[in-house]
Amino acid sequence: MMRRCVTSLIGVALLAAVATPGRADPATGEQVFTGNKCNDCHYTQGPATEKTIADQLAKKGPELWYAGSKFQKAWLEGWLQNPEPIRPLKYNSLSDDNPGDHPKLSGADAGAVTEFLMSLTSDKVEAGVIKPKKNPKGRLIFVKKMPCSGCHQFPTKKKFKGGRSAPSLVGAGKRLNPDWIYAYLKETKTFKPVRMMPVFAGVLSDKDMKAVSAYVAYFK
């Protein structure tokens, strides 16, 4: 009985492998990642290693050790093949434009790397808490009560507005995991122990952090 069960399980696994050619596992993706020297600029092992501003400035790209909690899978796979600038300015610069020269991956490599990056998660992100929603309270916080829009671009009816010093939040609804946005505001030390963005935990109530996260998660 036991034996039959195991055999049929193996059968199912084989079938799955045959049915989805080119779908790699995280380990293959990690090989592609290192093979392409992605780790020259990105670190993939948590917890965060930056302790001082000098540590942050020494980084050549954003940390990816919680990529699986931060990004939406479909967005990630697409972006790796067509990496449009996210930060209006060059990484770690407050004056130069983003050169838009991020390395590109082919479809198969992007698929494999996506499997690897999506396997890197943080247990500080609780699933199913934030539902994307265009809520007036979130809007009021984002554009009026707090300086969010002074640093971040966000979509408007016509195109977009906002500051250029931070990652653009245009398209955040497709790019970011809504629950990560909330965790990012709340868990100030976990994701960015050294950061340029002010700390809002303690300034905004928990309810307000949830409202503004739902609002950002709705950005088209």
Residues of this chain that interact with ligand HEC (CB under 6 A) are 33, 36-38, 40-42, 60-62, 64, 80, 85-87, 91, 98, 102-103, 105, 113, 142, 146-148, 150-152, 165-167, 181, 184, 192, 195-198, 200, 212, 216
Q: Considering the complex, what minimum distance in angstroms separates the CB of residue 27 from ligand HEC?
A: 15
The smaller minimum CB distance to ligand HEC, of residues 137 and 192, is found at 192
Q: Considering the complex, what minimum distance in angstroms separates the CB of residue 11 from ligand HEC?
A: 34
Q: Considering the complex, what minimum distance in angstroms separates the CB of residue 181 from ligand HEC?
A: 5
Q: Considering the complex, what minimum distance in angstroms separates the CB of residue 175 from ligand HEC?
A: 7
The smaller minimum CB distance to ligand HEC, of residues 140 and 166, is found at 166
The smaller minimum CB distance to ligand HEC, of residues 7 and 141, is found at 141
Q: Cα–Cα–Cα angle for 117, 130, 166, nearest 5°?
A: 60
CB 183 within 8 A of CB 200: no
Q: Considering the complex, what minimum distance in angstroms separates the CB of residue 134 from ligand HEC?
A: 14
Picking from 202, 204, 219, 217, the residue whose alpha carbon sits closest to that of residue 145 is: 204
Picking from 55, 56, 61, the residue whose alpha carbon sits closest to that of residue 37 is: 61
Distances 88 to 23, 34, 54 between C-alpha atoms, Å: 33, 27, 22
The smaller minimum CB distance to ligand HEC, of residues 2 and 75, is found at 75
